Structure 1
């Protein structure tokens, strides 16, 4: 971010679609440094402490996460859709000292935790002077905690380091052909790896532009994909969201003239569905990832390659080491089933407060 602020300061880095606010790379870098000042001098945040959020997508959350990272604090975005008891359990587990929220809290924050509305934090950032620059924390220190959905038990906090996030940005960026001219529409929730990391980090790493919306709406997203003024080149969603796009009256893929591809993950995507999208002139690029590993696999974006392997999750990302092994840990032969073993810099160091499950 700081490099782009120096080399292409006037390029648009981020647009908050709900408010229309826009940041150049220079302005975004300055906002992050002001946010560091708010966290440090206004709230006494220290390295290693957790900052939690209960809020819908906004550019303010992106600024907050980057400021927390520069300070050495840990950003913990909670799923605001959860029941109150589930939120309280996660807050008890991560033990934050600051909680940002965009609607009235339905429960008291944990003991020792300050709470502040996102709007108040934004106002404080705008009034704050930039904090002095300092060396960044170690790249292998915890930077983000993303809680899993808890499908196999109670939610686990996946630790994400900046080394992990950078590797995911490289992995998806290479597979998805994200570059300096890319415009990435993000309306996947920013409490999920797809929203917070996969949709934001690749374009910002490359000096592209990210458009942050408060959330998915089939009609609004259809219109944004067709809007030449926005020029969306990349969009990531789960297959269910793609189905809602095609079922909406405003679905007009012939107008998605800037789009490189729709990228999907998070659920199976049948070959017949992918072929249907190809017939509409839209490349649907499926892949596989995990909160614990970021982007793992991805299809090539060429239409003929997609058609010939529709239904496949694709090829291993560049920093991913992948083996398929049998019960004894031996590599299986081509075409044989087995268990996937992963390695590489995108793999989490573990679960927060769960050494036995790590």
Structure 2
């Protein structure tokens, strides 16, 4: 394939990288543990742990996991926000030869139960704030071992005790739970320190991570990411960063703002693992919705790299105190997860002096596969160029390549692409072409320079603050409400989150109210999936075979808004 876009690459960025230089993510991490041993790797609530600490702590936890009889290839769910225990748990799981299953800690019991059953996870490492959800989700799963962490575990004495007291007693952020036989995080570490560690033989073709996504159909599926796959993405991302880092005369260790959740593929790669690879300090923000708290935290550090989504950039840029921060060392602001709006990009540039370089990727491609050059000086309105090793074709509905400038489905090939959906060959077949390209479900057009612009969505997926929401899931659950006859979910524009879920309902029970239905949805869905708007209708538009026409509903709402 003629990768003509290579002519548009910034000087010094290679067209390809060789992922075989590391047999596994573990080999890459262990090199960093040695190379950057005394440097701070992560900081959270003013407590930092070094690369050496991550090495020591993760080895102890890996030994404990092995002692529990977990063998190579066993799945372990990690259910935590951005706290110091997350990188320790991840490194431990991978070093023990196990497969990490990233879990959104804000999931409801229903959503969590599906992921645990589908992955076949035999162990869970969970922050105690979310342990009550786990308790409700355990029935019918293969989970045998549970490690419960608390916010203060790695914060030292007396700070850890104080934080735990505030979280549990004053803020009442830990609902009561009962998980008989669970082990406390610090107890597992203590026990593991005296246990033998058996180094597993991990190769490039072994599975490293199951990254769950709704894919194109709405059933949460695990994108199977191999060690080779993640190494390829990390090395390509590292190469792509270099021109941007040269924009400023950076000295010493650089910092990455980690305000996006590490369980999401974007931060998982662009913050957590890329920080480990490059010897950076990740500033962990457990709750980025607390904008004032986030700004107060950022004021303590020089900021060099700032990955974010449009809603985060927009929220911060609209806080007066944000403009008071020192941005003199900010070299790269990379946007992904959802479209970066031009108005937000302009405001961000005016405040920080650092343009947002937008990229694009999916769980199925272990995060980024395209990005604007990191030394760009302005907003382009595109998702940039294919990264090293990546091939992209734009396909019509028959799988044929369209002409440059024409819209079609974005299809991706390269070592970054997943092996397939975990134990779902039928679903995998739906998204892979015979010549090995992954069909993204997104519609875009490529220009003569190789820059790609997202035009539309092939599916009816809704993107709320960078998170995918699938109407099929929303409708399937809402339809189970005894007062609902029919329903349809669509995405509508929303200033705060890019899009919001709107629900149209035909009642079965005339007494059903919007408030009652919203309260019910709050029990069924994590925050970003909950319908923000509900409209009752006497009937829904349908095709002649009875399929509900979501597009007609969407069009009618856009006309109203116009």
1:251 partnered with 2:251: no
1:23 paired residue number = 49
Quick check: 1:205 aligned with 2:270? no
In the alignment, the residues of structure 2 paired with residue 197 and residue 36 of structure 1 have an alpha-carbon distance, to the nearest angstrom, of 21
Q: Give CA deviations for 1:71-122 in whole Å, capped at 9, x if unaligned.
A: 2111112112222111111111112111122123231523552222124223
CA contact (8 A) 1:57 1:189 kept: yes
Deviation of residue 203 (structure 1)? 1.9
- How many equivalent residue pairs? 350
Deviation at 1:323, TM superposition (A): 1.8
- Deviation of 1:334 (Å): 2.1
- Deviation of 1:346 (Å): 0.7
| Between 285-294 and 218-227, the greater mean CA deviation after superposition | 218-227
In the alignment, which residue of structure 2 is the partner of 1:349? 419
Aligned to 2:96: 71
Structure 1 gaps of 5+ residues are: none
What TM-score comes out, normalization by structure 1 length? Answer: 0.89
- For the 8 Å contact 1:171–1:295, the answer to whether it is kept is no
Asked whether the equivalents of residues 124 and 143 of structure 2 are also in contact (C-alpha less than 8 Å), the reply is no
| Residues in 2 aligned to 1:172 and 1:165: alpha-carbon distance in whole angstroms | 10
**TM-score (structure 2 length as normaliser):** 0.58
Alpha-carbon contact 1:175-1:299 (below 8 Å) kept: no
Relative contact order, CA 8 A, sep 6+: which one is greater? 1
Using the TM superposition, name which of 139-148 and 24-33 deviates more.
Answer: 24-33
Pairwise CA distance, 1:135: 5.0
Q: CA deviation at 1:254?
A: 5.6
Of 373, 376, 387 in structure 2, the residue corresponding to residue 300 of structure 1 is: 373
CA distance in 2, matches of 1:257, 1:226: 13
Report the alpha carbon displacement of residue 303 of structure 1 after superposing the two structures with TM: 4.4
Corresponding residue for residue 153 of structure 1: 218
- The answer to whether residue 230 in structure 2 is matched with residue 165 in structure 1 is yes
SS state at 1:335 partner: coil
Q: In structure 2, do the counterparts of structure 1 residues 151 and 356 end up closer, same or farther at CA, with 3 Å as the change threshold?
A: closer
Separation in structure 2 between the aligned mates of residue 122 and residue 319 of structure 1, nearest angstrom: 41
Q: Secondary structure at the match of 1:34?
A: helix
CA 331–311 in structure 1, closer or farther in 2 if over 3 Å, else same: same
Name structure 2 gaps, 5 residues minimum: 1-28, 151-183, 246-251, 429-562
How far did residue 325 of structure 1 move?
3.0
Partner secondary structure for residue 357 of structure 1: helix
Secondary structure of the residue aligned to 1:4 is: helix
Q: 1:273 to 1:299 in 2, by over 3 A?
A: same
Pairing of 1:97-112 with structure 2 (within 5 A): 97-102=122-127, 103=129, 104-106=131-133, 107=136, 109=138, 110-112=141-143
RMSD: 2.3
